[in-house]
Amino acid sequence: MKNNIRGLRKAMKISQEELAKRSNVSRQTINAIENNKYDPTLNLAFTIAYLLNTNVDDLFQFEIKENKRR
């Protein structure tokens, strides 16, 4: 799962620290997500999308992985 948080954040000219404060998470969390260390929770995804004036579906690029049906 990729995302363009960094791009939109920079366009808005705010730091990871600032986005973290507005999102009520730690700076490390924003940093980790921007660097694709892990995905945010659904709640945080919605919060960040809201703060960056976009939506979850546009902010995150989900690649469908097809399912070998059990």
Partner DNA sequence: ATAAAATGTAAAACATATTTGACATTTTTC
Partner DNA sequence: GAAAAATGTCAAATATGTTTTACATTTTAT
Strand partners, 3: 60
Q: Is 40 in the site for DNA (CB under 7 A)?
A: yes
Q: At closest approach, how far in Å is the CB of 21 from a copy of itself?
A: 6
Residue 66 touches which of DNA, a copy of itself, none (Cβ within 5-8 Å per kind): none
* One residue of 3, 5, 8, 16 binding DNA per CB under 7 A: 16
Q: Which residue has the tokens 């919060």?
A: 47
Pull the structure tokens for residue 6: 């960094």
- Tell me the one-letter amino acid at 19: L
Whole-number Å distance between alpha carbons of 49 and 46 = 5
Residues that bind DNA (CB under 7 A): 10, 15-17, 24-29, 31-35, 38-41, 43-44
